[in-house]
Copies of this chain bind each other. A is one copy, B any other.
Amino acid sequence: MALDIVPTPDALSVALTETARLVEAQLDALLPVPESAEAKLIEAMRYAVLNGGKRMRAFLVMEVAKMFSVNRTCAARVAASVEMLHAYSLVHDDLPAMDDDDLRRGQPSCHKKFDEATAILAGDALQTRAFEVLAEADTHDDAEARCELILALAAASGMRGMVGGQMIDMESEGKQLGGPEITRLQALKTGRLIQYAAEAGAILGRASAQQRHFIAAYGRELGGAFQIYDDVLDETASEADLGKTAGKDAAQGKATMVSILGLDRARAQAEKLAEQAATHLESFGDRADLLRTLARFTVTRTS
């Protein structure tokens, strides 16, 4: 596909903004604040998940779902669910016993804004709500599809996915992990959920096994590119751009793809993965243009 018919980054930026608006309206509706003693809990959940962010995972769900003509509200519900899951992981990762981070998206992290107990509980309840939304009949007519979404999210986010990756990450402080170990850590910790977000759109659309295979491959390589480029940004971007503490991994003596490959080769590796990701989209024609642009954006962003 010639470069001149690929949508400009502006088109992506418009689409990302539109997705953010839609998914945030959905999140607002899915997390109503009750007039009861536990209101603080829901306020903390809303603070954590309505605190900005690029909404890349939500965008992946919605954009893949669109290729399969999925009802937009159903897609937005699944997008909101993955953002809740992601937000829960950030809230718990920021806790003093974990990465001990005071800043998230340029704002006090949840346990600084509220307190530690509230942050633990808000993360817990965000996870519950993420699964609950998927199980609700409004998400898909077919209960089999709803169960498939739940199984895919659990595999991506639980002990065999994101939480497993965070465990390895906690254990790796002060250890010199090699390239393959870091690649596995990052695939579990970040890659699997990004891959899930893409696959969720295909599950919603009852895509064929082959289509799902291509979408999964796209999501997997996009996730790899994303994480390596995150390591690059952690070295090169300012704290103001990142909205979180920069240079943290290096300070904690954690190996990253940058510490192993050096900045230039890490950047090149991220770009290569982003290009590979796009190759899996060929059979979808121009319906996948924004997903191609997203792959490119993933390794050129500044935050």
> A residues bordering B, Cβ < 8 Å?
31, 34, 37-38, 40-42, 45, 88, 92, 95, 97-98, 115-118, 120-121, 123-125, 127-129, 131-132, 135-137, 142-144, 146-147, 150-151, 154-155, 157-160, 163-168, 170-172, 181, 184-185, 188
Contacts and interface: CB of A to CB of B under 8 A. Distances in A.
Nearest to A119: B97
A128 B37 contact: no
Contacts of A37: 167-168, 171-172, 181, 184-185
Q: In the assembly, how many copies of this chain are there?
A: 2
Given A37-B181, A163-B41, A132 B118 contact: no
The 9 closest A-B pairs by CB, nearest first: A128-B158, A132-B154, A97-B116, A143-B143, A38-B164, A41-B167, A135-B150, A125-B159, A125-B163
Contacts of A172: 37
Given A97-B117, A118-B170, A125 B38 contact: no
Contact of A95 (B120, B144, B159, B184): B120
B38 A121 contact: no
Contacts of A147: 135, 137, 143, 146-147
Given A121-B170, A124-B163, A144-B143, A158 B129 contact: yes
Contact of A128 (B42, B163, B181): B163
Residue of A116, A123, A142, A159 with most partner-chain B CB within 10 A: A159
Given A37-B168, A42-B159, A97-B120, 12 more contacts: A38-B168, A40-B171, A41-B164, A97-B116, A118-B167, A121-B170, A128-B154, A129-B154, A129-B159, A132-B151, A132-B155, A132-B158
Contacts of A132: 150-151, 154-155, 158
A125 B43 CA distance: 24
B45 A121 contact: no
A38 B135 contact: no
A158 B132 CA distance: 9
Nearest to A158: B128
A225 B171 CA distance: 43
21 contacts: A37-B172, A37-B181, A38-B159, A38-B168, A92-B120, A92-B121, A95-B120, A97-B116, A97-B117, A97-B120, A98-B120, A117-B170, A121-B163, A121-B166, A125-B159, A128-B158, A129-B158, A131-B131, A132-B158, A135-B154, A146-B147
